[in-house]
Amino acid sequence: MPTTSKPISRRQFLKRSTQFTLGLLGVASLSGAYARWIEPYWIEVNRISIKLANLPSSFHNFQIVHFSDLHLGFNSKPEQLSELVEQIQQIKPDLICFTGDLLDHSTAYISEAVDLFAQLKAPYGQYAVLGNHDAFGNRRAVTQGLSQAGFHVLHNEHIVLKKSSHKIYVAGVDDPWVGKPDIDRALLHIPEDACTLLLAHEPDYADQYGRLPVDLQLSGHSHGGQVQIPFIGPLYTPPHGSKYTNGLYQIPNSRLQVYTTRGIGMTRLPIRFNCRPELTVITLKPQ
Ligand SMILES: [Fe+2]
């Protein structure tokens, strides 16, 4: 028997519309609360392997902790980072690399940051570069603070890591906002066929560095966009962090790969959505 659907009354229609609107408002406020209070402090430990053609055998399975963009002072206080320090200590990496933006603007938390960073130790050392937010007259204070905590800040320079009879190189280039980037100076005298890692705050400079004998660039700066709309991508990305926004990329016609971490903190807006703070653990593998 065919059935006929009964038209709903005006009263029923109003009731259903109200329920629907309240439902939407509920979802929106729950998402807002999640993005403001939960996701920003829910660190994801992202373990990845990166294959490098020039990696000497002694450095196979060499483990690097890479983190970036704390933005202390902007909705992020040092005491909120004790979990991060614990996580890094538990991983026990061979090397620790920090790619800038320790502060947001003010130096208010610099001494607490020194205490936190001083707890981080790795057998092959702790290295850093500064980010664009470490500028604004704070360059010296951040460099001093990181050095005091046992981090070697690489201002257009490099160091050599030796294991058995093999070497790899770790270079760091200044951020254009903070100092004068000089990549040629940072890489001076590194043999062409050596395995070279580069710390550079802003990832999109990889397009320029692809011409150079660098194997892997580690960067931050983009925060992954902080808010990623499902199926669309980041809502906003900063200049020089819009192309290589997050994850691993191969630079075309080059041996250079760039890895961009989503970072730990926030700036501009105190929210993260679908873009959790990231602590990256990289294991180097031969190609
Ligand atoms: Fe940043």
For the chain, what is the domain count? 1
Inside any domain, residue 13: no
* Ion ligand 1 nearby residues (CB, 5 A): 69, 101
**Residue 4, in any domain of the structure:** no
pLDDT at 159: 98
What distance in angstroms lies between residue 195's CA and the mean position of ligand 1's atoms? Answer: 27
Measured in whole angstroms, how far is the alpha carbon of residue 4 from the centre of its chain? 59
Which pLDDT does position 7 carry in this prediction? Answer: 72
**Does 11 reside within a domain?**
no
Cα-to-centroid distance, 4 and ligand 1 (Å): 61
pTM beyond cutoff 0.75:
yes
The residue segments making up the domain with residue 203 are 42-286
Contacts of 23 (CB under 8 A, 6+ apart): none
The Å distance, Cα 66 to ligand 1 centre, comes to: 14
Query: Domain holding 125: CATH number?
Result: 3.60.21.10
252 Cα–ligand 1 center, Å? 26
Q: What is the mean pLDDT of each run of 10 residues along the chain (287 residues)?
A: 64 68 69 93 97 97 98 83 93 98 89 93 98 86 96 97 97 90 97 98 97 98 96 94 98 98 94 97 97
In a domain, 105, yes or no: yes
- Please, how many CA atoms are within 13 Å of residue 8, restricted to the half-sphere of its CB? 8
Spacing, Cα 239 to ligand 1 middle (Å): 11
**34 in any annotated domain:** no
- Does the residue 24 lie in any domain? no
- φ/ψ region of 65 (left if φ > 0, alpha if ψ in -120 to 50, else beta) reads beta
If DSSP states are collapsed to H, E and C, what string results for 145-206?
A: HHHHCCCEECCCEEEEEEECCEEEEEEECCCCCCCCCCHHHHCCCCCCCCCEEEECCCHHHH
Q: Which residues lie below 8 Å from residue 20, measured CB to CB, with a gap of 6+?
A: none
Amino acid at 171: A
Cα–ligand 1 centroid distance for 5 (angstroms): 57
Cα 221 to averaged position of ligand 1 atoms, centre (Å): 4
Residue 275, in any domain of the structure: yes
Rounded to the nearest 10 degrees, the angle between the axes of helix 139-148 and helix 110-117 is 30
In a domain, 282, yes or no: yes
Q: Looking at residue 135, what is its pLDDT?
A: 79
CA of 126 to the centre of ligand 1 (A): 19
Report pLDDT for 4: 56
Rg, the chain, Cα only: 23
Give 104 Cα–ligand 1 centroid separation in angstroms: 8
